[in-house]
Homo-oligomer: A and B are copies of this chain.
Amino acid sequence: MIACHARSDAAFNSDPCLNCQARQLSVCGSLAEDGLRRLGQASETLSLQPGETLVREGDTASHLFNITSGVVRVYKLLADGRRQIVGFLFAGDMLGLATGDRYVFEAEALEPVTACRFRKSEYKALLRELPELESALLDRACHELQAAQDQMLLLGRKTAMERLATFLLDLAARARRAGGPPDLVHLPMTRAEIADYLGLTTETVSRVTSRLKTRGVIRLRPHNTIEITRPAALAALASGEDPAG
């Protein structure tokens, strides 16, 4: 096991190095233009409609993906259909790193997605020429590992209220990083998807949302948007400091 220790604060995603939207694919701003062009040429651009599949569990893991716009859900299934969403991918996020020969998760578009796909063999060739790329990817992977550990704490030990509060704050932090309005978060996913991400049911997510609404902590706006009216209260709830739960 490798245990990383990055603070899960804003630092990582605000790194312009890792913003992939401006150029077709860039993992580090310091990469030689030449390398970027090579990888760009070896890549294809994909467009997916909501519900369409990017990768399926068990498929041969021949490609890497880089999401350029939209949102992707990555999840695992149990035999009887229980689903755990292990993450949502946004613009700039990568999919399919790692060395196994099969994918071990499903990835589907949540809303219309554009992604950049390229062969692993090309990626490996490029890595040989651009070690900085590997360094940037290692940093990202460690940051992801840290986020995964936070999610384990959430799934293993937090109450439904704490889970939802944490989730909303995470989304708000992401929106703020992306330059959006603070305390106004858009939910691109359904209650069922939130539930499958937080290890709850739709009903519980709905009930807890209502409770937050009743208490004046959040307000529901049109177009699946939530306004955080009392950020401090939400933060207290997320960390379990609120005695009233």
Chain A residues close to B by CB (< 8 Å)? 1-8, 11, 55, 61, 74, 76, 78-80, 82-84, 86-90, 93-105, 107, 127, 131, 134-135, 137-153, 155-158, 196, 198-199, 239-241
Closest to A143 in B: B98
Residues of B within 8 A of A93 (CB): 1-3
If the complex has contacts A100-B6, A157-B199, are A1 and B79 also in contact, measured as CB distance less than 8 A?
A: no
Kindly state the separation between the CA atoms of A93 and B1 in the bound complex, as whole angstroms.
Answer: 5
6 intermolecular pairs with C-beta atoms under 8 Å apart: A1-B87, A1-B93, A4-B98, A76-B152, A76-B153, A156-B198
Residues of B within 8 A of A74 (CB): 1, 3
Most buried by B among A5, A80, A95, A139: A5
Residues of B within 8 A of A84 (CB): 152-153, 156-157
Q: Interface residues of A: mostly helix, strand, loop or mixed?
A: mixed
Kindly state the separation between the CA atoms of A98 and B30 in the bound complex, as whole angstroms.
Answer: 20
Do the beta carbons of A5 and B61 come within 8 Å of each other? yes
If the complex has contacts A3-B86, A5-B61, A84-B156, are A97 and B239 also in contact, measured as CB distance less than 8 A?
A: no
Kindly state the separation between the CA atoms of A5 and B55 in the bound complex, as whole angstroms.
Answer: 10
If the complex has contacts A103-B5, A139-B98, A155-B155, are A145 and B146 also in contact, measured as CB distance less than 8 A?
A: no
Do the beta carbons of B100 and A7 come within 8 Å of each other? yes
Do the beta carbons of B7 and A107 come within 8 Å of each other? no
Do the beta carbons of A76 and B240 come within 8 Å of each other? no
Do the beta carbons of B153 and A151 come within 8 Å of each other? no
Closest to A197 in B: B156
Kindly state the separation between the CA atoms of A102 and B146 in the bound complex, as whole angstroms.
Answer: 12
Residues of B within 8 A of A4 (CB): 96-98, 100, 141
Kindly state the separation between the CA atoms of A240 and B83 in the bound complex, as whole angstroms.
Answer: 13
Q: Kindly provide the distance from the CB of A44 to the nearest chain B CB, expressed in whole angstroms.
A: 19
Closest to A149 in B: B86
Most buried by B among A83, A140, A152, A239: A152
